[in-house]
Amino acid sequence: MKKVIVTDYGFPNVDIERKVIESAGFAFETIQPICKTEDDIIRTCGHADALLVQWAPVTRRVLEALPNVRCIVRYGVGVNNFDLDAAKDLGVVAANVSDYCLEEVSNHALAMILSLCRRIPQDHHQIVQGGWGINPFRPLHALTDLTLGLVSFGRIARNLARKAASLGFSLSAHDPYVNDSVFAEYKTARVTFDELLERADVISLHCPLVPATTHLMNRETFSRMKPGAILVNTSRGPVVHEEALVEALKSGRLGGAGLDVFEEEPLPAASLLRTFPNVILTSHAASVSERAVEMLQRKAAEAARDFLLGRDPASRLV
């Protein structure tokens, strides 16, 4: 009997996946303790036909060591823990779940943007410390006087653009892979990355983690942002060079930051990002709602099931 194995997960249970797989006539298994390394996967998953994976590294070495595995499915949008080139070379189908949290992530980014633009974290911090008054945090601009710049203009960024437009933000975005018609549809100015850095009062990151975007936000790019601009990252942690971000915050070059993702997770206890009153930190939570998590689990299982049934997974990447 063909089998689906869950290598690792952070959900309370995988009852949804079990029901989807077993009702289609296939076997289902979870690995406990969960797989964290290549060796963990190689040691425990050789009898699988398909893998459901959250964070475990599915590398070329893993795929070469597990010839029986013909499909890998990522719980999530990003696939930086998958070696897609190796999957393609070895004829392994790779899929993700690309559309489960569009509303959640765009809402989370917007919540951070509004809080930082309205100086809510700073005011809260000073009141807790016994202070009072908004004057220390001025200038405090109306949202209608601010430009929101979006790095990448996929579905999450477009959702954010729609919501931000209703609040009066001017919109610009950089994405060389999106047609002009999409920018026009969302009334968003198409700009170069350099123009976005120079013009945006708020920059929100929505790009995938690839070599070209690793440390995209660094000392040089921070130095070209508008003085007092705000950075929000709900994409992937390594898109931002955190040491450079700390420097930009210390110097006052940046007016604040909202971070849901980090170069190392959990965020190390010694990280200086914990010390700024104008920084919002959340624990990789942007994609989470009960509805979204249920959808993620179901769609991941359906992708593996469909492969075993001889159909293409809905979000096939390779």
Q: How far apart are the first and last CA of the chain?
A: 25
The string of pLDDT tens digits covering residues 196-224 is: 999 999 999 999 999 999 999 999 999 99
The string of pLDDT tens digits covering residues 281-316 is: 999 999 999 999 999 999 999 999 999 999 999 999
> pLDDT over 90 for what percent of the chain?
100
The string of pLDDT tens digits covering residues 28-63 is: 999 999 999 999 999 999 999 999 999 999 999 999
- Other C-beta atoms lying within 10 Å of the C-beta of residue 144: 9
User: Which residues are designated catalytic?
Assistant: 236, 265, 284
Q: Check residue 153 and give its pLDDT.
A: 98
Average pLDDT over residues 128-154: 97
Domains and CATH numbers, the chain: 3-100+290-308 (3.40.50.720), 102-281 (3.40.50.720)
Average pLDDT over residues 159-164: 98
Q: Check residue 267 and give its pLDDT.
A: 98
